[in-house]
Amino acid sequence: MTEQKGKVFIITGGASGIGKETALKLAVQGATLVIADYNDTAAEQLVSELEASNVTAGAYKVDVSKGDEVKALIDWTVQKYGTLSGIFNNAGIGLVKPFLEMDPASYHRVIDVDQHSVYYGMYYAAKKMVELGVAGTIVNTASIYGTMAAVGSFNYNAAKAAVVMMTKSGALELAEHNIRVVAVAPGFINTPILGNDDSIKNHLGSLHMRGRIIQPEQVASVVAFLFSDAASAINGQTIPVDDGYLSFKTKQG
């Protein structure tokens, strides 16, 4: 497959989980990839794997909570590869605490990584796409918790709800530049953010309509589709990848 040949994509949080699986799917389609992650060792390892399969890829260490670092990432990408076709604003963290124990530092840490980083990625990528005259695509990672509450996730809920609205607002304002902005809202995904406790993963998976955990490659397939020309009429939307969770769940089990 060569659908994405000649296109250059940045994936934040690209060294593991959904980001890594998205990189693998876009690689098969011929894309050039920038694996942006705070874990530079894991990013370099993935790049080595991709290059062994004749994929053009580069690793870049970034703290997405810092706007100047995100801008530098985008500038570096264009300097190295000549263009920017899309960015997947995927990096994120979780920090579960009851609301009355959620001190300002805990609140701001998640907001900075899960919300502000998406703004930085959208803003600096869009500015560069407009400068280059590229009809690009921006994909953001929201969450089922962007539209419903969960105990212990006040900061995460707030951040992901903001991502949903930033996706809508960004799509509206960037449409005149032929830049699409879309998002995915994953359910409970088998990624490092859930930890290594299988009993917890099994419980969370049981909350889905078909009672099983979702694998990161299932979300990556949707992200890769959203970057494709086949999704060219999808804009401003947040696509649930939740095995029906939002369709029937009235409270967290």
Q: Which of 38, 120, 156, 245 is catalytic?
A: 156
Domain range for 153: 8-240
| Residue 146 maps to a domain | yes
The model's pTM: 0.95
Of 148, 161, 68, the closest CA to residue 111 belongs to 161
Bridge partners (DSSP) listed for residue 248? none
Low-confidence ranges of the chain (pLDDT < 70): 1, 249-253
Q: Which two tokens stand for residue 37?
A: 């992650």
| Residue 113 maps to a domain | yes
Instruction: Summarize pLDDT for 115-133 with one digit per residue, the tens.
Output: 999 999 999 999 999 999 9
CATH code where residue 75 lies:
3.40.50.720
Instruction: Summarize pLDDT for 65-87 with one digit per residue, the tens.
Output: 999 999 999 999 999 999 999 99
The kind and range of the H/E element at 240 are strand 238-241
| Residue 253 maps to a domain | no
| Residue 246 maps to a domain | no
Number of domains in the chain: 1
Q: Active site includes 81?
A: no
- CA contacts within 13 A on the Cβ side of 178: 9
| Residue 18 maps to a domain | yes
| Residue 161 maps to a domain | yes
